[in-house]
Structure 1
Amino acid sequence: MTQLQEAYIVAATRTPVGKAPRGVFKNTRPDDLLAHVMKSVMAQVPQLDPSLVEDAIVGCAIPQGPQGLNMARMGVLFAGLPNTIGGVTVNRYCASGVTALAMAADRIRTGQADVMIAAGAESMSMVPMNAILTDMNPAIFSKDENIGIAYGMGLTAENVAKQWNISREAQDAFAAESHRRALAAQAAGYFNAEITPYDVSDMGVDLISQELRAKGFTVSQDEGPRADTTAETLAKLKPVFAARGSVTAGNSSQMSDGAGALLLVSEKILKEHNLTPIGRFVSFSVRGVPPEIMGIGPKEAIPAALKVAGLQLSDMDWIELNEAFAAQALAVIQDLGMDESKINPLGGAIALGHPLGATGAIRAATVLHGLQRTGGRYGMVTMCVGTGMGAAGIIERL
């Protein structure tokens, strides 16, 4: 049996995250965002010939419309990378980006590749969730055990809030803290190292001259954090998924647009090109849970990923637990007895946004740069996944 080799991360970057559907990237194609981070991540390692890259694995939760036609391959070509590089788009809903990272790492660990790009991209402005073209199997509705598959994500969050006794007050406080941490991180410049600014060029009509004019601007920071968000202001919002519920737009993740990319190499490439790794991919696990409480998924995936790595939860210095909803994040924290000071230190999806299939790659960049800045050793990216799953990936800083 061939012994597994290590997969090293030598670069990681992301775009800023824009708000959907009317934010800074509302007219920017997701394949253009993807090409931007692919080009940028390669530029971070100029001594590595791009022709050495063998494949690009890209996560996308709704691979249709502008992000269809195998967006991974489109991104490679639009980035001006050698056309010898392959591309495949993978879909595990919200865990698509971290799944792409795990798959790229596995190609290297099994000796099938030496250089890989892992990425994620999503535009919820151009491909909103309610525009999904799907034909549900009648078995979903004819069998009671399958009906949870059809539940909207918000309703599953209400189910979790009820089953785990997560109060509205706790959810709003958690959401307000997400914004506070994100704003503090922006003010301190903590995101600067992981973000590659994006130049937007929009066309619009001048209402006075009636002329079509181009408007250009540079996006360099996440659009979502709001300084006016407090637990008190959030408490005024009405539930949106259940009449007597507790889940609101304010304590749920934001719909967003964005992309992230990482460059992975084998030890052979590290030595031959004298590269300095920023991280080592350690382990990845996925576990299933009942679809009607899909938000609790990380509580099963996290212990599984830790077991594979031979580590304990206390070994984690930085945990990016995707805040799909405050209710599900709090339930996971409660069930596993997690240290909240280590979770989303710079804020989470409630403030920073959640561009679905891109989030795993984006937050992996956050973990790597955060560990570099703070000197921590181990970090984790974890999230719940639609239809009842949880995913978790562990990275070691080098």
Structure 2
Amino acid sequence: MTECFVYDTVRTPRGKGKKDGALHEVTALELSTQTLKAIRDRNDLDTSKVDDVVLGCVDPVGEQGGDIARIAVLNADYAQTTAGVQINRFCASGLEATNMAAAKVMSGEADMAIGGGVESMSRVGMGASGGSWSTDPGIAFKSYFTPQGIGADLICTKYGFS
């Protein structure tokens, strides 16, 4: 199996995810575009060598809907040959996207891939994509659905984290 190396990391600014948050005016597309441009510029990257950009997005609806990874690739002026795919694994979407990018390299499917996540909760609120998991009592009870904040509090209480 081919080894995979992380060559650079970029973090976007963050703020409170609300309608009057510090980043409310910045779209998810702009956040992902800025990140891709930073990776390109900081590394003098020939973007034609990037096989795929994998971005996690929890609520791919509205302005962060469609395939935001491919749209960001085009918006960041990457080579037309650079693919982009968006995946959703809820709160682990960015981590899973990074894992998928690494797996593509390790398996030989790609020589170079970029993985990460994007979300603008100031513009597209939590749960905007809908779904029955949290709203349909039949599946919520069957799957023991618990909102992430409550789950975090339970884990902290059980294991003594402050």
Report the equivalent of 1:152.
Answer: 147
User: Normalized per residue, which structure has more strand?
Assistant: 1
Report the equivalent of 1:198.
Answer: none
Report the equivalent of 1:99.
Answer: 96
Report the equivalent of 1:83.
Answer: 80
Unaligned runs of 5+ in 1: 158-294, 296-324, 341-398
Say which SS state the counterpart of residue 33 (structure 1) adopts: helix
Question: Looking at CA atoms only, which structure, 1 or 2, has the larger radius of gyration?
Answer: 1
Structure 2 counterpart of 1:31, which letter?
L
Query: CA RMSD for the aligned pairs?
Result: 2.3
Q: TM-score, length-normalised on structure 2?
A: 0.87
Which of 126, 140, 155 aligns to 1:328? It is 155
Which of 24, 33, 48 aligns to 2:22? It is 24
What is the CA-CA distance between 1:41 and the residue it aligns to?
1.2
Structure 1 counterpart of 2:97, which letter?
A
C-alpha distance in 2 between matches for 1:144 and 1:50: 44
Which of 127, 130, 149 aligns to 1:134? It is 130
Deviations 1:109-128 (A, max 9, x none): 01111111112110001111
Which of 117, 120, 135 aligns to 1:120? It is 117
Structure 1 counterpart of 2:155, which letter?
Q
Structure 2 counterpart of 1:153, which letter?
Q
Structure 2 contact 58–91 (Cα < 8 Å) conserved: yes
What is the CA-CA distance between 1:91 and the residue it aligns to?
0.5
Please say if 1:111 is aligned against 2:108. Answer: yes
Mapping of residues 329-368 of structure 1, within 5 Å? 329=156, 331=158, 334=159
Q: TM-score, length-normalised on structure 1?
A: 0.37
C-alpha distance in 1 between matches for 2:97 and 2:28: 16
C-alpha distance in 1 between matches for 2:140 and 2:23: 41
Structure 2 counterpart of 1:10, which letter?
Y
Question: Taking structure 1 as reference, are residues 57 and 144 closer, same or farther at Cα in structure 2, changes over 3 Å only?
Answer: closer
Q: Taking every aligned residue pair, what percent have the same amino acid on both sides? A: 32
Say which SS state the counterpart of residue 119 (structure 2) adopts: strand
C-alpha distance in 1 between matches for 2:60 and 2:109: 26
Unaligned runs of 5+ in 2: none
Structure 2 counterpart of 1:134, which letter?
G
Mapping of residues 273-292 of structure 1, within 5 Å? none
Question: Taking structure 1 as reference, are residues 88 and 24 closer, same or farther at Cα in structure 2, changes over 3 Å only?
Answer: same
C-alpha distance in 2 between matches for 1:50 and 1:96: 24
